[in-house]
Structure 1
């Protein structure tokens, strides 16, 4: 009887601990005209999202002082690192700030990653990926440098390619390098680690006839990546983000042509199922990225004054 009692106590304690440590999904967002800053939504199942009231960080840097495309990644030390678009056009860098609780933030910094490219048109949708092999962060973004690449279907000031820097501390950065050139205008890329030495690049083909989401595969987060797939989504879709839920990945995207949000489920990034009817998002949600937070962090976000 004593042994049974001990087993029950252990089971209860284990359940209590697992519930306490349960990770909650967090979706970053912004609202047009993008001057209000960081909005957040949370979910326990990765499908149904509740919005948290108000802005959690108002933009103070960049010529336009806007915040679009906020990308957050949780570092190995539990610190949340965020980057965002600071200017629609004319800027040569992106915004950066960090936080332990998503309420109290470090001083905002402007990172001029394209300072050596005086003709650069823009720096769009920076995205953070933590490389757990090299123990460093990779930040990728889209920029147009007129006459740098074959014109193709796009005007010179709309012919984007992906660039990147790496950093271990967001204080010093590697030199800026070309990240991805698929031979056409590309934006909104997201790196996904599918398995050891097995990576997926989710991307938007931004050429006028396409403007939809595709994927490409590589053996390293820095590529090279194989030829991109056929389109996964319809015309006028962008802003993909990916989260692992159970055995499958969910690929969320902004279906801006129809003014709604949609999602695909996939076990392998080859076979996809439309699960848009199973998701719900806060009204006005604009594309960002998904990370995880603890129950304690969520409580702080809900209870903040």
Structure 2
């Protein structure tokens, strides 16, 4: 509250003095995530621009039913690695790699670009040519360079001998200066992300020689002025696409990393209170939930009004997922009509999507209808959970009805008590779902879930 009042007073003072207020000082209270989608068997692959929103910057809600909000109409007709930049006038530019699919052997000299006032509509679509080299133009990031009065567009390319970051400068994202090498530390690099904080420019990148993520910094943001200052970071088997985000409330920073392969966990995250230090703490996966099937994206701060406009324009999902409390990389899904808890991601990814409808035997409760098998519900039979078609009987309706209560292991999460066996709760045991009595701390963890889009 005090921060918002201070920002309002600052804006009023600057207006009285005739000084412009940078959009970086706007009262952002929420976040937007731009991404494309893939899944292990590519059932969820879509190379258009997807958006998700979050109020805490950790748990994300896909918009437009996780369908693209805009798709390229030129070049390869697809995109990867979308990047959202808040420009100095408060509007947005969206840039993306011009690549439809996974044929990374293609060379392409162009980037996709759109303009947007508030991300509820996208205008001025074009492709801009970044260079004349026989190489790729991947993973753009952009930043405002106040000393030049221009935006820098940095992207991954090859200089003929190794992978480097190139830069072009622009004022309008239509015409750009000639390309030049921006960062070439003596080993191949990929996927840069640049954030300007005060007078310091932070560049996070992947070192292709060892597969780790690093942070570099510069006091000027000029080409070849960065010095790496962090140790290497990795979670999971492989990681790329570092994504550096300053918390809206100014309390700290987060770093996201893409798992590189759609068969592994999509995102990992770290946090720090001091981005200039060398101390990143890996976040437990209980703390965050990336958008469904999201790959290599970007995050920008948005205002409450922009958040509400995005939700109003694109709509919230009509399905939910259940994330395990003690195995937060696993979600409730059906497989061969059995209720299970499996590590995400998997295909068909729709097996984890549920319509939480009023309880079939009591509207005060809830029933879980499968999205990809409509008319089938999670129900217990001999205490084992399975996905069965509604046979219209009272017994089925009771077996398929649960009462949602505060999580037995975490009241911020949820547990589900059986309607017809009120001493039993939905839980997992050896990754299979059952309804059982709950007594131990392990039982309570097994019976606790986060309801998430």
* Secondary structure class of the residue paired with 1:175: coil
TM-score, normalised via structure 2 length: 0.56
* Secondary structure class of the residue paired with 2:294: coil
- Count how many residue pairs are aligned between Structure 1 and Structure 2: 274
Q: CA deviation at 1:68?
A: 0.5
Once the two structures are superposed, the pairs formed by residues 264-303 of structure 1 within 5 Å of their partners are: 264-266=270-272, 267=274, 268-277=276-285, 278-303=287-312
**CA–CA distance in structure 2, aligned partners of residues 269 and 77 of structure 1:** 31
1:109 aligns with 2:126: yes
**CA–CA distance in structure 2, aligned partners of residues 14 and 128 of structure 1:** 30
**Partner residue in 1 for 2:152:** 138
**Partner residue in 2 for 1:58:** 71
Q: CA deviation at 1:294?
A: 2.3
After TM superposition, the runs of 4+ consecutive aligned structure 1 residues lying more than 4 A away are 33-36
Deviates more, 1:241-250 or 1:177-186: 241-250
Q: Work out whether residues 35 and 59 of structure 1, in 8 Å CA contact, stay in contact via their aligned partners in 2.
A: no
Q: Work out whether residues 266 and 295 of structure 2, in 8 Å CA contact, stay in contact via their aligned partners in 1.
A: no
Q: 1:251 aligns with which of 251, 255, 258?
A: 255
Q: CA deviation at 1:22?
A: 4.9
* Secondary structure class of the residue paired with 2:136: coil
* Secondary structure class of the residue paired with 2:89: coil
Q: Which runs of 5+ in 1 are unaligned?
A: 1-10, 150-158
**Partner residue in 1 for 2:56:** 45
**CA–CA distance in structure 2, aligned partners of residues 51 and 131 of structure 1:** 32
**CA–CA distance in structure 1, aligned partners of residues 188 and 117 of structure 2:** 36
Q: Work out whether residues 161 and 185 of structure 1, in 8 Å CA contact, stay in contact via their aligned partners in 2.
A: yes
Q: CA deviation at 1:127?
A: 0.9
Q: CA deviation at 1:121?
A: 2.5
* Secondary structure class of the residue paired with 2:216: strand
**Partner residue in 2 for 1:189:** 192
Q: 1:176 aligns with which of 179, 194, 198?
A: 179
**Partner residue in 2 for 1:232:** 233
* Secondary structure class of the residue paired with 1:298: helix
Q: CA deviation at 1:191?
A: 1.2
Q: Work out whether residues 128 and 174 of structure 2, in 8 Å CA contact, stay in contact via their aligned partners in 1.
A: no
User: In 2 relative to 1, CA 269–263 (structure 1 residues): closer, same or farther, beyond 3 Å?
Assistant: farther
Once the two structures are superposed, the pairs formed by residues 23-172 of structure 1 within 5 Å of their partners are: 23-32=29-38, 35-53=46-64, 54-62=67-75, 64-87=76-99, 88=104, 89-115=106-132, 117=133, 120-145=134-159, 148-149=160-161, 159-172=162-175
Larger Rg: 2
Q: Which runs of 5+ in 2 are unaligned?
A: 10-25, 315-453
**CA–CA distance in structure 2, aligned partners of residues 137 and 269 of structure 1:** 26
**Partner residue in 1 for 2:212:** 212
Higher relative contact order (CA 8 A, sep 6+): 1
Q: CA deviation at 1:247?
A: 2.2
Deviates more, 1:265-274 or 1:29-38: 29-38
Q: CA deviation at 1:272?
A: 1.0
**CA–CA distance in structure 2, aligned partners of residues 177 and 22 of structure 1:** 34
**CA–CA distance in structure 1, aligned partners of residues 108 and 167 of structure 2:** 16
**CA–CA distance in structure 1, aligned partners of residues 240 and 145 of structure 2:** 24
* Secondary structure class of the residue paired with 1:303: helix
Q: Work out whether residues 166 and 183 of structure 2, in 8 Å CA contact, stay in contact via their aligned partners in 1.
A: yes
Could you report, residue by residue, the CA deviation over 1:63-92 in whole angstroms, capped at 9, with x for unpaired residues? x21110000111121210011000242211
User: In 2 relative to 1, CA 24–135 (structure 1 residues): closer, same or farther, beyond 3 Å?
Assistant: farther
**Partner residue in 2 for 1:153:** none
